[in-house]
Amino acid sequence: MPLLPAPFFRKISDRWSLAKRLGFPVSRATTGRCYSRTKTWQLSCWMLVIGVALFLPATALGQAWPVPSHAAPDWSLSSLRLSDQTNDWAHSSSAVSSESLLADSNHDAENVLPVGVGTSHQVATAGSAPSGHHWQVMPQGLIYTSYLAGEKESRIRGVVNYERDNGWIWDITLGGRAGILRYGTAGDRQPEGFQVDIEGAGAPRLDLAEDRDVDAADFRFGVPITWGTQHHQVKLAYYHLSSHLGDEFLLKNPGFNRLNYSRDEIVLGYSYRPVAPLRLYAEAGWAFFADVAEPWEFQFGFDFAPAGATGIDGAPFVAANGHLREEVDFGGNFVIQAGWAWRRSPTSGIFRAGVQYFNGKSEQFSFFDDYESKFGAGLWYDF
């Protein structure tokens, strides 16, 4: 069965074949680049079709299907229980007694937990979160979470891949992301409001067939400013990314053309959760400084993963991401992942184990114009 946009892409490939028949200097490498761009576009169009197919029924489901209590916080005033604000928190264990709680609410005393920052005396039940927004330093959780199948997200990962031309490789990311400042809600619930994050990661590639030599490594640093509600999230971020070849690779390939790939960019992203486990997203990035890279890039995709506590049993996840870049004529790569995931709460990180398929331009930007097709298995921890 042909892919959906086949006539359009066949026209592109025929154009290159005609150029070769007419005697124009079209190299095998050039034809290969055209083919890889065409294949990436095909996969990306398929993912867009799947995303729309998920979006339409999920939007209707979001109206009819109540989101689980562990994932959909009740921000109403009735869910808030305040302790006597004249009591010092150091004595809250005696001041917030079972009798006072029963007088103020219908919940048991053991469901009470502190929220807020600093000297705040707010107390909320374990099944709720404070209504209203307040300032928090080092808040719990992220408002705009990372894309599960995004290859450049700041996370911890180790994926062993088999690439059809290069054999066995080990793609690693050592990074993290945390909230610094929030004006919004608190508690062990999906956060809402405004938040400033900080993130960074190093992503080396090891050649397993060559004694785990480092082929290349990309480095990323970012400061995302995010806003979100239960269903809608927006990100405005600054990112720096630079790519570097490994010493062992340069020693084995003395004639390799080393490229100083780097970009400093502003990114605008939007994500939508029609129901708690499903997230659809898209973003655009524009580099105000770029070396080798061109200014524009785009990402889009979906995540389907547990939104609340899974316990030891875990739950399945599926994620897909398309990444298109101007320097390869808006070709790029397509990633799809599936497996099992665990998380402690809606504000904790998510640990995943599974498999992935990657097709398109290399995720190591020192080889940004090389085509790769690889399949692998790995572990991921997203903050």
In this prediction, residue 210 carries a pLDDT of 86
User: Are 293 and 287 in contact, with CB atoms under 8 Å apart?
Assistant: yes
Please say if the pLDDT value at position 178 is more than 90.
yes
Q: Which residues have C-beta within 8 Å of that of residue 140, sequence separation ≥ 6? A: 179, 186, 187, 188, 191, 347
In this prediction, residue 293 carries a pLDDT of 94
| DSSP β-bridge partners for residue 320 | 302, 336
Q: Is residue 62 part of a domain?
A: yes
- Most distant CA atoms of the chain, gap in Å: 90
Say if residue 92 is in the same domain as residue 145: no
Q: How far apart are the first and last CA of the chain?
A: 39
CA dist 168 → 207, 215, 361 (Å): 7, 12, 17
Say if residue 91 is in the same domain as residue 230: no
In this prediction, residue 209 carries a pLDDT of 87
Q: Is residue 339 part of a domain?
A: yes
**pTM score, whole prediction:** 0.69
Q: Which residues have C-beta within 8 Å of that of residue 333, sequence separation ≥ 6? A: 40, 151, 322, 323, 358, 359, 360, 361, 362, 363, 372
User: Are 337 and 317 in contact, with CB atoms under 8 Å apart?
Assistant: yes
Please say if the pLDDT value at position 57 is more than 60.
no
Say if residue 101 is in the same domain as residue 221: no
User: Total structural domains in the chain?
Assistant: 2
Digit-coded pLDDT (tens) for 296-337: 999 999 999 999 999 999 999 999 999 999 999 999 999 999
Residue whose C-alpha is closest to residue 331's, from 356, 357, 362: 362
Q: Which residues have C-beta within 8 Å of that of residue 259, sequence separation ≥ 6? A: 243, 292, 366, 368
Check which CATH number belongs to the domain holding 374 and give it. Answer: 2.40.230.10
- What does the alpha-carbon distance between residue 158 and residue 201 come to, in Å, rounded to a whole number? 13
Digit-coded pLDDT (tens) for 265-297: 999 999 999 999 999 999 999 999 999 999 999
Say if residue 235 is in the same domain as residue 103: no
Say if residue 372 is in the same domain as residue 275: yes
Q: Say if strands 296-304 and 278-291 run parallel, antiparallel, or are unpaired.
A: antiparallel
pLDDT bucket at 47, cuts 50 / 70 / 90: low
* DSSP secondary structure of 255-279: T------EEEEEEEEEEEEEETTEE
Which domain range does residue 335 map to?
A: 9-66+139-382
- What does the alpha-carbon distance between residue 377 and residue 226 come to, in Å, rounded to a whole number? 31
Say if residue 114 is in the same domain as residue 182: no
Q: Is residue 263 part of a domain?
A: yes
pLDDT bucket at 254, cuts 50 / 70 / 90: confident
Say if residue 223 is in the same domain as residue 353: yes
Please say if the pLDDT value at position 340 is more than 60.
yes
Q: Which residues have C-beta within 8 Å of that of residue 98, sequence separation ≥ 6? A: 108, 109
Q: What is the mean pLDDT of the chain?
A: 77
The mean pLDDT value for 181-189 works out to 93
Digit-coded pLDDT (tens) for 210-251: 889 999 999 999 999 999 999 999 999 999 999 999 988 988
Say if residue 149 is in the same domain as residue 178: yes
In this prediction, residue 132 carries a pLDDT of 82
The mean pLDDT value for 335-341 works out to 98
The mean pLDDT value for 357-378 works out to 95
- What does the alpha-carbon distance between residue 29 and residue 195 come to, in Å, rounded to a whole number? 45
**pLDDT more than 70, % of the chain:** 66
Q: Is residue 222 part of a domain?
A: yes
In this prediction, residue 65 carries a pLDDT of 41
Say if residue 60 is in the same domain as residue 208: yes
Q: Is residue 22 part of a domain?
A: yes
- What does the alpha-carbon distance between residue 151 and residue 173 come to, in Å, rounded to a whole number? 9
Q: Is residue 3 part of a domain?
A: no
CA dist 313 → 310, 316, 378, 383 (Å): 6, 10, 19, 20
Return the half-sphere exposure (C-beta side, CA atoms, 13 A cut-off) of residue 266. 2
Say if residue 97 is in the same domain as residue 245: no
* 3-class secondary-structure state, position 298: strand
The mean pLDDT value for 101-124 works out to 38
Q: Is residue 4 part of a domain?
A: no
Say if residue 86 is in the same domain as residue 198: no
Please say if the pLDDT value at position 358 is more than 50.
yes
Residue predicted with more confidence, 179 or 24 = 179
Please say if the pLDDT value at position 379 is more than 70.
yes
Say if residue 48 is in the same domain as residue 145: yes
Q: Is residue 111 part of a domain?
A: yes
**DSSP summary character for residue 292:** B
The mean pLDDT value for 199-220 works out to 94
